[in-house]
Structure 1
């Protein structure tokens, strides 16, 4: 065993354990009733997510990488996300909380044994550089963010706590010019990058302006006060139809508070903070605000160029601040705080052009439909990305305060229906140069 292999195994083991600690925090915070209850038809019961991460870990690490006998083949279909829509999952014969915890613990013991014994790189692409382990770590962290979103929809006394996000040393506003020209989009070198991030390819983007910060609560309140929700001029036909059908009048979880607004965040209601990025808005709301403001949403390529392109070298970085793995000083990630941080709170995470908080705080809607890059190849299964390609889904970028550092990077792509706003979604604006 080489030193590099041993270091990779140590890193994988640490990430598996760190991730499971977060899963335990989210599921141990509530009683069995809350674990099995469906808090919204948009979301699974928390106990389904818990057993699902164990099922995926068993399928890929224990059975495939490790070649071990199945632990619970009888539950494979129950926890197949494509077999049962979220709204139907409470009616399934799911594992109880006790059974689910026992199952995921047994799977983890087997997976760690596989990690210690099986080759980390046996010539298969699935195993190269520990990819299968990295895929499962990211998968569980993605479900942890989903479970965090379920906590936001839960009704009852607060159960999650976290420190307040840092204040901004100086306010950040305005926009920056991103010069036109080619840049490298996507990646061929990020070991744990998922299939839709690949392959790296050259994209030529005309010059454009992009806001230095995401749209804040204060800015969005001005749109509401100006009658933005009542004026179809700012909305696309599909957006206006949805606004009317859903009765949208403000971001999700906002309520009137005298002459202002308050928001309920994980069971606590307080006045909205003017300089924090607006969150829980759908694509149609973001698009309408952009039109009202005389701008537009950035394309996905524009967003990635603003986040990764280094004007001094012409190289695409891993993150806006460089190639260093995210640290606490760079971005609001990993549920370290339970809401977005004010614009300008992370100056160490700014891009070379001075664009702030492109990673963390809120997922940012782009105007781009989700599709594969030129030369895309599904790996290791079509259902991760390819089945979602098409005009039904819009791309979001950058991660949120609920996204873990292992599940976000400058190339990472998220996607959702344009009507969705239970996710931690916000946006920033762009315009043509």
Structure 2
């Protein structure tokens, strides 16, 4: 599992953590000497460092781990080699850290260079890497994107956390179930394989998924329409927000504000939350759940289901264009406690009229005004609670209700 974070407003492409060609960078150096062993004049001499650093333009890259530089004396000439591991990368601009990576441990071998004059082996080994000429691009490829698979794919192959800054960033999760938070800028985010979660807060954010790459979620603090191949939308915060699905079978979940949720195509599950919400199923056989507010719901085309599963109080939902015999009203028996048996509402528990007539009557539809009420004792002693309204004059039957 890797963690990547952009720390400043400087725009940053996550893939550039792995420089395209190490041979083109400047001021390559090893830093943080932690130990020496042997002698450069007799036998083998080893220096161990914590960090490999180099510059690319005005950026400084530091790869932190354990780096070992080895010199072997062979009469008048010798050999030198460098290798190591790293699992942490920082990128700085003018001394300010702008991005960081912590994650997978990578092994790097820069190869061995022979026939180095003895004079070169007696000095400090900080310049050793510049003398390595036999490793070639194959050795350098351990630090760049030319290897197969590319290092970004390896580095972000787990369940990763990627966080952008306030600039325009490019973040890519790779395989695994990733959490990708673009931050305040207009960011490009790619989840790749796995069940990924995107956090968006800017209208210009772009979430990119291919078909068949998992079940993905957008958590949005702004109005949002799901892009292609993303299945779930969760509205976050307390603002009044709109959320729109796509052609897939979507799940749309509102926040504590007043939401407008539109499923479009597909068989969608749409849940309103705490505010006074408008839920529109669109095409398909949809589930609509109002939540705790006074909500307005319409299923659109298809056989739709309206679920009531929150405590009954003053929350009364309006169901528009309910079609008897095609749509269903689902009643959660933990809330409608008098309906103990799950399944189709029994004929004895349904009453078309203004009030219960006997102890068995629980669900009462008043065709004169379209109200649907629940009577907890069937005798009116506890007071029938109005919880939904459909069109007046419908010919509702017990078959229009299901206890779940």
Give the alignment's TM-score, normalised by structure 1: 0.17
Give the alignment's TM-score, normalised by structure 2: 0.18
Report the structure, 1 or 2, having the larger strand content.
2
Higher relative contact order (CA 8 A, sep 6+): 1
Report the structure, 1 or 2, having the larger helix content.
1
